[in-house]
Amino acid sequence: MEAKTPSRQYDLQNLRRARWLVFVVASVLVGLTQAYNYWGLKLSLFDVLINLIIGFFVAWLMTELGLRYFFRLQEELGGAIVSLEAAETQMHWQSAALASAANAIVITDRNGRVTWINPAFTQLTGYLPEDVIGQTLSVLKSDRYDDTFYMQLWQTILDGRVWRGELVNRRKDGSFYTEEQTITPVLDDQGQISRFIAIKQDVTRRKTMQDADREQRILAEALREAGVALSATLDLDKVMDILLDQIGRVVPYDTVSLMRVGNGRAVVVRARGNAPFPKRFLEPENAVFVIEETPNLLELVQSQQPTIVSDTEKYPGWLKNGVGSHIRSWIGAPIIIEGEIFALLSLDKQEPGFYLPQHARILSAFAVQASLVLHNARLFAEKEENLRREQQINRVVQATNATLDLPRVLKQVVELAANLVEADGAVMALVSADDQTMTYPYWVNLPEDFEWLPVPRGRGLAWQVVEKRQPIRLVSYPDHPDALTEWIGAGLQALLAVPIVAGEDCLGALCLFYLSQEKVFSERDQVLAELAGQQTGVAIQNARLFQETKQRARELDLLNPVIAATAVSENEGDILQIGCTELARYFAVPQAVCVKLDEARENICIMAESLADELPSLKNSCIPVKGNPILQKFFDTAVPITLPDTRRMSLPPEMAAVLTDRGMVSVLMVPLPLRDRIVGAIGVHSQQLREFSKNDIRLAVTVGEEIGRSLETLRLNDQLRTHAAELEKRVAERTWELAEANEQLQQLDRLKSKFVSDVSHELRTPITNLTMYLDLLERGRADRRDHYLSVLQKETARIRQLVEDILDLSRLEDSRERGIMFLPVDLNQIVAQVVMAQMPQINAVRLKLDFVPEDGLPLILGAQHQLSQVVTNLLTNAVNYTPEGKIEVKTYHENSEVCLMVEDTGIGIDDVDMPHLFERFYRGKQVAQLGVPGTGLGLGIVKEIVDLHGGRVEATSELGKGSLFRVWLAAVEDGA
């Protein structure tokens, strides 16, 4: 039936074609017939048309029926032929198929003797037809099955059922193979079993493949499960744990470990052991392998492929001693993330030759899966880490902004920076105030007992960071040539040091460490640390600004009282005391002293001190400057001194008595300036180790200067006071002098008035006498004319003498006012001339005159005519007031004075007259009674002249016996 369908279709097509052909031919015939009927037979057109329609219809009917019949016949005949042909072909094909079937086919008779085999049988078993035809197939038996097996087989097929089964047989060459066999019994016409057909299919390959398939499935399952397990978490640590938990399901091991790869090292981060393995395997120092030095790891890393060491004993360079000694076979596979080896899987067995290539393949597949999961976990961890770090940075920023308490902030920053990059430890290095030392005030997680000693400029890596303002990132700190041995000793390994920057300044470095070898700082760590460094700089700057403001306030607190107190203090001691007290208070020290240099600038003496209660005073004690290099330098340079630790210095004993003996450890000494000289110093002494900052020094210097200014003011005030007092004294003196002068002037005035009055009085008498006697001369008695004339002459002489004397006095006063030229004169000569001139008059009254000049009498400076007047007046008086006796004139000299002595033996001078002798117009009482003519001006003129010559006049007298006048004048000095 199946074969009919196409041919039938074919026939139907032919039928349609034939139908049209017959119908057209019939139609043509009908047409031709009717044409003949019309034109030949001349039938009517109607008849012809009717005939034509009928003809066509008949032709169509005939064609249809005839053809259908014809084709049915043809169809039946064709079917028979086709069946026959098909049967023949099938026979041929089946025979060929049997012969060429891929499966081995065996036909046996009812007893199992082979009647036919195909070539595939020979191919499968190695037996040729001649080997087996006529034989049973027991040659193929593998002895793997017992008799029962074969009996059941026979039972089945003999019962007429098909036996199907898989069994292992033996080839002609003795090797085994697995076949899948179908034995079908063939029945004859009577329904009896005539033969058996066995079809054998070699399933050895399939079997192997199935095994492999199953293995693959198990592996896939294990991998899938491992994948599920691994994907269950993104926690990198857990992922690594699960990795090791799962690996045993796909590759057997005694020990397995996961190693992280980086910086040429493989570090065991996880390990499992089925077999006992050395515990120290997991100890950190044993868990690090230098890849270059470990051939199996090097091979693995270089090839980036799973690597097997079949037998470690035959593997050159296997680490026999130590951790790998128990291992005989080893397999390793790389876990590659983004093209780089992230980690290694390392498995080992204690038996040699255990690991085979398939293990490598499995491990490789596992490693691929592990890499994906680890990659994810790592990305996640990184993301988490980023988040965490962002939070940390925020915390750093917050911490630095939260408070201005710098030490707290910095301590916190160090902690946060260490957390930020997960460093094992961190230390903050800060440049000291003098820019010369690096100190390490803050650290975390580093050995507690470690002493972070300050480091001088240029030593260690922190200085390099500060000087270059560049971060330093080292894998191994101890390998760096500039590493500090003490830091190496503290166990520092990887280093990341970043600058602490504030604007233009670099204030220090933030140093972060790993204490173990397997960790290193990444580029990202550096970026984060730098951020923390900058933030620290800002914090320090802020805090410093705040501190500075606070400091300024404190300084003002110190300076204000010093300025205020010293400004009003009136003595040096008070000012120095205020300076000491305020400095001691400001620096909170138990001892502050003010010292001053003595006049010779050889010693300093303590002038003021501020002392804690228990310390006895050292006030007024002195220390020699000479031989004390510290003090000498101080007073030479005027540069403030800081002695950070006097215990480590050998001081001169006097200085030690003030400092070390009293437990003063740190010293600050600033100069006490007075104008442009250093007159002393102020010392601030602390009993604790104390670093005096630039600021401290500046402030103390300012206090010193302020005290110096106050001392200067004080000194100026003293001077001013002294000056004022002096002025006052001088004014008083001057006032007194003026009063004196005034008194003198008044006296003079009075004298003048008296003089005028005296002169008037003295003139009145003679003038009255002159008037009266002129009148008498005119109208009086003639006989008395001579008398009248002599009186008139006497009175005229008196007036003349009076006028002469007054003129003399007037001239003298004139010379006193204008000054007169004195020349050296010889007194002897002057006296001799006067004596000679007076001699006639003396002789007339019979008086004896002795002139005794001294030989070699020194010259005197004087005006000759004035000195002549002195001698004349004295001599005239002696003559006038000596009624009889003698007059002696002597000159002599005593010391540097020359003396003129006039002595008489006259009437003498009454004691009453004595004090008034030299007054103008004064005349002795008795002389008036005696009627001795005179003006009372003679001695006045003498005194005036002697005064003008800077000499003196003395008078001694004894009433009735005589008088003695001495005039003393200065002799001209030799050579003058």
Give the integer Cα–Cα distance in Å for 765 and 763. 6
Positions in 466-525 near ligand ADP (CB under 6 A)? none
924 binds ligand ADP (CB under 6 A): yes
| Calpha distance 704→707 (Å, rounded) | 5
Considering only 904, 905, 953, 972, the residue that binds ligand ADP (CB under 6 A) is 904
Rounded least distance, CB 931 to ligand ADP, Å: 11
Q: Kindly indicate which of the ranges 394-402, 537-545, 754-762, 916-924 contains the residues binding ligand ADP, using the contact rule CB under 6 A.
A: 916-924
Q: Which residue has the tokens 């600033």?
A: 670
Nearer to ligand ADP, 281 or 922 (CB): 922
**Cβ closer to ligand ADP: 589 or 942?**
942
Tell which one of 306, 708, 936, 951 touches ligand ADP (CB under 6 A).
936
User: Is 935 a residue that touches ligand ADP (CB under 6 A)?
Assistant: yes
Nearer to ligand ADP, 256 or 917 (CB): 917
Span near ligand ADP by CB under 6 A; candidates 167-175, 270-278, 416-424, 921-929: 921-929
What is d(CA 129, CA 133) in angstroms, rounded to the nearest whole number?
A: 5
Q: Rule CB under 6 A: say whether 917 interacts with ligand ADP.
A: yes
Q: Which residues pair with 186 in a beta bridge?
A: 195
Q: Does 569 help bind ligand ADP (rule: CB under 6 A)?
A: no
Q: What is the DSSP string of 579-602?
A: HHHHHHHHHT-SEEEEEEE-TTSS
C-beta closer to ligand ADP: residue 299 or 919: 919
- For ligand ADP, the closer of residues 153 and 809 by Cβ is 809
Q: 475 vs 953, which CB is nearer to ligand ADP?
A: 953
Number of chain residues interacting with ligand ADP (CB under 6 A)? 21
- Please state the closest distance from residue 959 (CB atom) to ligand ADP, in A: 9
DSSP letters, 641-696, are EEES-GGGS---HHHHHHTGGGT--EEEEEEEEETTEEEEEEEEEESS-----HHH
Dist. CA 62–CA 55, nearest whole Å: 10
Question: Measured from the CB of residue 876, what is the shortest distance to ligand ADP in angstroms?
Answer: 7
In this complex, which beta carbon is closest to ligand ADP, that of residue 688 or of residue 841?
A: 841
SS (H, E, C) 525-568: HHHHHHHHHHHHHHHHHHHHHHHHHHHHHHHHHHHHHHHHHHHH
Task: State the nearest-atom distance from the C-beta of 853 to ligand ADP, in Å.
Answer: 20
Site string for ligand ADP, 821-860 (x = CB under 6 A): ----------------------------------------
Q: Between residue 874 and residue 903, which ones bind ligand ADP under the rule CB under 6 A?
A: 877-878, 880-881
Integer angstrom CA distances of residue 65 from 58, 71, 810, 922? 11, 10, 212, 221
Nearer to ligand ADP, 705 or 919 (CB): 919
Residue 846, judged by CB atoms within 10 A of its CB (0-12, 13-18, 19+), counts as: exposed
* Min separation Cβ 934 and ligand ADP, Å: 2
CB 568 within 8 A of CB 560: no
**909 near ligand ADP, judged by CB under 6 A:** yes
What mask of x and - would describe binding to ligand ADP in positions 430 to 469, judged by CB under 6 A?
----------------------------------------
Beta-carbon contacts of residue 88 (< 8 Å; ≥ 6 apart) = none
Minimal distance, residue 727 CB to ligand ADP, in Å: 46
Conformational region of residue 191, where left means phi above 0, alpha means psi within -120 to 50, and beta covers everything else:
left
Taking CB under 6 A as the criterion, the residue among 508, 683, 708, 938 binding ligand ADP is: 938
> Which two tokens mark 131?
């080997």
Contact criterion met (CB below 8 Å) for 253 and 271: no
The binder of ligand ADP chosen from 907, 953, 967, 972 (CB under 6 A)? 907
Nearer to ligand ADP (CB atom), residue 679 or residue 878: 878
Q: Which is nearer to ligand ADP, 825 or 875 (CB)?
A: 875
Enumerate the H helices of 115-203 as residue ranges: 119-125, 129-132, 147-158
Q: Which stretch binds ligand ADP (CB under 6 A): 408-416, 423-431, 501-509, 907-915?
A: 907-915
DSSP for residue 141: B
Out of 332, 640, 862, 906, name the contact with ligand ADP by CB under 6 A: 906
> Measured from the CB atom, is 579 or 934 closer to ligand ADP?
934
Per the structure block, which two tokens stand in for 850?
Answer: 């002795």
Report how far residue 893's alpha carbon sits from residue 325's, in angstroms, rounded to the nearest whole number.
141
According to CB under 6 A, which one of 265, 389, 662, 923 is a site residue for ligand ADP? 923
Cα distances (angstroms) measured from residue 765 to each of 412, 755, 760, 780, 955 = 126, 15, 9, 20, 30
**Which of 312, 935 has the CB closer to ligand ADP?**
935
Structure tokens at 823: 């020349």
Q: Is 766 in the site for ligand ADP (CB under 6 A)?
A: no
Comparing CB distances to ligand ADP, the nearer of 317 and 883 is 883
Residue type, 212: A
886-894 and 848-852 strand pairing: parallel
Residues 6 or more apart whose CB falls under 8 angstroms from that of 952 comprise 946, 967, 968
The binder of ligand ADP chosen from 328, 798, 963, 972 (CB under 6 A)? 963
Q: Which residue has the tokens 């034509």?
A: 52
Instruction: Choose the binding region for ligand ADP from 354-362, 624-632, 742-750, 919-927 (rule: CB under 6 A).
Output: 919-927
User: Residues 26, 927, 945, 971: which binds ligand ADP (CB under 6 A)?
Assistant: 927
Closest listed residue to residue 708, CA positions, set 587, 558, 596, 624: 596
Cα–Cα separations (whole angstroms), residue 923 to 161, 575, 877: 210, 73, 11
CB of 801 to ligand ADP, least distance (A): 8
β-partners of residue 439 are: 430
- Where along the sequence are the contacts to ligand ADP (CB under 6 A)? 877-878, 880-881, 904, 906-909, 913, 917, 923-924, 927, 934-939, 963
